[in-house]
Amino acid sequence: MPDLAIDVRALTKSYGDVHAVKGIDLQVDAGEVFSLLGPNGAGKTTTVEILEGHRKRTGGEVSVLGHDPGKGDRSLKARIGIVLQETGVERFLTVAEVIDRFRGYYPNPRPLDEIIEVVGLQEKRDARVRKLSGGQQRRLDVAIGLAGDPELLFLDEPTTGFDPSARRNAWEMIRNLKQLGKTVFLTTHYMDEAQNLADRVAIIVGGRIVAQGPPGSLVGPDAAKTAIRFRLPQGSPTLPGAAASAAAITGEQVLIHTADPVTLLHAITGWALDNEVALGELSVNQPSLEEVYLELTRPKEEADP
């Protein structure tokens, strides 16, 4: 599999008795935008930092562009770009100076003006870093990550704290990176971000991957099914067989998850016409990634075995 940018097998990481990562498998294809989603404390940052070479793993196999990141090879560092969550920059240098300083660390840097253009900081080129807004500093972070023209870019929560228009700009920028043929490993806790940008998503909860796949078809047992909702007045006749067996009824609210919405809706609406029942607030929804995510990350009533 030469086209695998990242290959992780049975990765574990423990801090004393605390098992932060409990055996995860991840494969990221070259050229795709891959998103790792999870709540805080799920093992997201630990996993990324192991891939970046910032932390040592406890067990398992990790390959990043064919290298073991735990060895700290400089030849690997020359081919990846890392955009961490909270990293400062020398505040008294200008945008161009900072990017140029980092370009000098790499054997084949990307041209300065191209980098500035990709992140849209043309107008701030000669501004000191301390004069930049939060969103502009985040774009500078990405610019630094691009300095060495990396094949693989790690982006850790790139749009946290952005206003909506800044986020849209950042998304445009990440799409540009994909156009350039980069592999992007994106961690985020914004569902819409993953849904909009990622080719594939993995959801990590409690140190384990609980779901993995393209955002449109993330398969969980119920999560991928269509949800049919309506209000059924008290004293209505019983629902037809197929609907009754799948329905979850709370008071007047009816919720049915189904893999075959056309047949079931036909049955329900036919039954409603025959019996003159008004199906109040009838709605049919495809599950959003957010629902999948909330379902999967909902705290379980019992602790993990």
Partner 1 sequence: MRSLLMAFREFRYENKAFWRNPAAAFFTFVFPLMFLVIFNGLFEETQFFVPAIGAFAVITACFTNVAMGVTISRDQGILKRVRGTPLPPVAYLVGRVLHAVFVALILITIVTLAGALFYNVDPPSNPGRFLATLAAGAAAFCALGLAFTALIPNEEAAPAVVNAAVLPLAFVSDIFIPSDHAPEWMQTIADVFPIKHFAQAMLASFDPTFRAWSPNDLLVLGVWGIAGLVLGIRFFSWEPRH
Q: Which of 78, 127, 242, 247 binds partner 1 (CB under 8 A)?
A: 78
Instruction: In angstroms, give the least distance from the CB of 145 to partner 1.
Output: 9
CB-CB neighbours of 28 under 10 Å? 23
DSSP H/E element including 136: helix 134-146
Phi, psi at 148, each rounded to 5°? -90, 15
Q: Which of 4, 30, 93, 127 binds partner 1 (CB under 8 A)?
A: 93
Q: Which of 21, 47, 52, 185 binds partner 1 (CB under 8 A)?
A: 52
Taking the CA atoms of the chain, what radius of gyration do you get in angstroms? 24
Instruction: In angstroms, give the least distance from the CB of 78 to partner 1.
Output: 4
Instruction: In angstroms, give the least distance from the CB of 100 to partner 1.
Output: 9
**Residues of span 177-206 touching partner 1 by CB under 8 A:** none
Q: Which of 38, 53, 215, 287 binds partner 1 (CB under 8 A)?
A: 53
Which range in 94-102, 119-127, 179-187, 243-251 contacts partner 1 by CB under 8 A?
A: 94-102
Q: Which long-range contacts (CB under 8 A, 24 or more apart) does 54-60 make?
A: 55/13, 57/11, 57/12, 57/13, 57/21, 58/12, 58/13, 58/14, 58/21, 59/10, 59/11, 59/12, 60/8, 60/9, 60/10, 60/11, 60/12, 60/23, 60/24
Asked whether position 252 contacts partner 1 by CB under 8 A, the answer is: no
Q: How far apart are CA 225 and CA 235, in angstroms?
A: 29
Binding site for partner 1 (CB under 8 A): 52-54, 74-75, 77-78, 80, 82, 84, 86-93, 97, 101-102, 104-107, 128, 144, 148
